[in-house]
Each structure stands twice: as C-alpha cells, then as structure tokens.
Amino acid sequence: MKVLKTLAWIVGILLLVLIILIFAAPTQIHVERSVEINAPASIVWNNIVRFEKFNQWNTWKQMDSTAVYTISGDDGTVGAIDAWKGKKIGEGQLQHLSLDPYKSIQQKLTFISPFKSESDVFFQLTEAAGKTKVVWGFDARYGRPQNVMALFMKGALESDFAKGLDNLKKMAEADTRGPGTPTGMNVTVREMDYPATTYAALRKTIPIKNITSYYRNNLSKIYEAATAARLQPGVPCGLFFTWNKEKQETDMAAAIPVPEGSTLGPGFEIIKLPAAKAAYVEYYGPYDKIANAHVAIQQFIEKKGKKIIPPTIEMYVTYPGKEKDSSKWLTKVIYFMK
C-alpha cells in the first residue's frame, strides 16, 4: 500500500507541475538572433533567399542525414517552397511569402509531423560600409497544452539560429573572397582600353530571375541569323543597361560581336559601343557567384573616384556548352568608366 501511495503522490505532483506549466508557460514564442557579415547584401541575400543555398548552412539538415529535401516553384522567388521529410526532424515545409530584395524576407514555416503547427519566419538585412547585418527571427503561437513544449523549444531554436547564422557568415565571406583564395578564386580588377565593338543583339526588359532562360532562348537565334548572313560571330555576351533591385528586373541584351557594318534580319538590333576606358575581371567559376566580380569592379571604380557608364558586359568565354566543370567557366566582366 505504501508503494501505491508513493506512486500516487508522485503522479499527483507531476500532474500538478504539468497543470502549472500549462497555465504559466507563454502561448507565444519569439526567437531572434543576429550576425554581422563581412560581405555585401547582394551576396548574403543569394545565400538566404535560394533554398538550395539555405539548406547548405542551416543546422537542421545536419541533424538528420536521412532527410530528403524537395524544392518546388522557382527557387528564390515568392511562392517557392522548401519541403523536407526525415526520421529525426519529421516532415514540414518553408515557403517564401514576400521578398524585399536585399532587405527582408517573410516566410511561413509549417510542421506536418510529428506535430502540426504554423509559424512566421523572417530575415532582415542591413548593409553599411560593405558589411551586412542579418537578423533571423521566428514567431509562433501555441495553444494549451502545446505551449509547454514551446517553453522548452525556445532554447533549442536560439542555439540553432545562432549556429546557422555563423555558418551563413562563413559561407558569404568565402563567397566574397571568391574562388582563388583557400575557398575559391581571385577576382583581381584590371584596367583596359576597350575597343569599339559592334554587337548583333536581342534586347528586352525582363525579370532578373529569367536571365538564364532569356540567353538560352535567344543566343542560338542570333548565331543562326549571323551564320545565315555569312557573318563571323564572336564570343556570346550579355549587355546590361539597367539593373533594378526594387523591381527585380533588367534591361538587357543577349548579344554576339559581329564585324562593323553588319546587318541582320527583322527583329534583331545592331548595338555599337564606342572605344572607352574600362575595368574588368576575368572570373572563373559558377554563375551564382559572379556577383563577386561585379562587387569588386564597382568598389574599384568607386575608389578611383570615377563613374560607371552602362552597359555592363558579361563575356562568356568558356561556358557550359563547352565545359562541364563549372570551376573552369571563364566570364570576363567589363564595366565602362569615366
């Protein structure tokens, strides 16, 4: 009997503690952690907004090697979803709700198993003097008795956010150094006298996210037209006349150098760029890190007290059609200045 009474007392005390926790524990949880990164917002943003990159630095993927991740929608845009399913981390998804480029990201986090819940997640980016402060936050509401679990979950989330931001810092700063350093490649800026050049082009204002498909759909058309006109086309290029971060669009041309005086059929534009002083980088590496070259040239021109004159040129000397190894892709990035 004494044993039963003791067990009854223990169970009673545990139930009392649980009831107290249910009513004492908050029904709202807020987690927020921040880090300062020695990299411009343009590079940090890419590592956060693209789920392919996000999954490389957040700590949850490291917790469960069995987890399978699936990205649906256009990665890095509103509506894109990063879904996962694993033995340890359960099943859930993270969706982009709104994006203010290089400034903020609003997301919805949905857990499906081992329990169902929805939470708000946000990132805030502030750039100053070449450094970017990143704030990563989480807000959720839990009914009773689930709020007891949230009480113990907060500390774990704070630790996960801090570790994740430390990983993000390492990744973004490595990207800024670029491929040439121990983690990548040098982006040495040089000056040149750019010769007057004529381009056969197809020009249009398009969403930044559609740049790759615009090249793919139009460069072959220009090559075919140039070949039909018996012209000797040069290295494929992208000419960027504007780059609107707020609207996430660019006025650009898929272009190929052709001999002076060349003409093509209807629908094609002939663009003549005069000789000019320019700064350039010979960048080796994948296109998702080419921002390194642009940032380096912009800073170089700014330090010289000169002004950037559009268009900016990306000359694709070695590209996927010629070389499968992305570390060997050579892109010559050119900025005119005066």
For residue 109, what pLDDT is reported? 93
**Residue 184 pLDDT grade (very low, low, confident, very high; cuts 50, 70, 90):** very low
> What pLDDT is recorded for position 1?
53
Distances (CA, A) of 5 to 2, 9, 12, 95, 335: 5, 6, 10, 52, 84
Neighbour count for residue 338 (Cβ, 10 Å): 10
Adjacency order of strands within the sheet including 68-72? 28-37, 131-141, 117-128, 104-113, 90-100, 81-86, 68-72
65 compared with 121, residue with greater pLDDT: 121
pLDDT, average across residues 46-75? 86
Question: pLDDT tens digits for 12-48?
Answer: 554 544 455 444 455 678 899 999 998 888 788 888 9
178 — pLDDT class (breaks 50, 70, 90)? very low
Output the six-digit token pair for 48. 């956060």
Which pLDDT does position 4 carry in this prediction?
52
Among the ranges given (62-66, 161-165, 280-284, 334-338), the one the predictor scored with the smallest mean pLDDT = 62-66
Given pLDDT bands bounded at 50, 70 and 90, which one contains residue 157? confident
Is pLDDT above 90 for 9? no
Residue that has been written with the tokens 């209807």 in this structure:
266
% of the chain with per-residue pLDDT over 90: 37
Query: Is the predicted pLDDT of residue 91 greater than 80, yes or no?
Result: yes
Each residue of 204-246: pLDDT tens digit? 999 988 998 999 899 889 988 888 888 877 889 999 999 988 8
Q: Which domains, and CATH codes, for the chain?
A: 23-177 (3.30.530.20), 190-337 (3.20.80.10)
What pLDDT, on a 0 to 100 scale, did the predictor assign at position 179?
Answer: 40
Structure tokens at 105: 């990201």
- 130 pLDDT above the threshold of 90: no
Mean pLDDT (whole number) for 291-299: 87
Closest CA to 184 of 46, 47, 53, 289: 289
Mean pLDDT rounded to a whole number for the chain: 83
pLDDT band at 180 (very low <50, low <70, confident <90, very high): very low
Predicted local distance difference test score (pLDDT) of residue 301: 94
pLDDT, position 266: 86
pTM: 0.54
Flag the least confident range among 9-13, 71-75, 137-141.
9-13
pLDDT band of 129, cuts 50, 70, 90 = confident
pLDDT of amino acid 336: 97
Residue 315 CA: distances (Å) to CA of 46, 51, 312: 22, 28, 10
Half-sphere exposure of 322 (CA within 13 A, CB side): 11
Provide the b/e sequence for 65-77 (b: ≥16 CB within 10 Å).
Answer: eebebebeeebbe
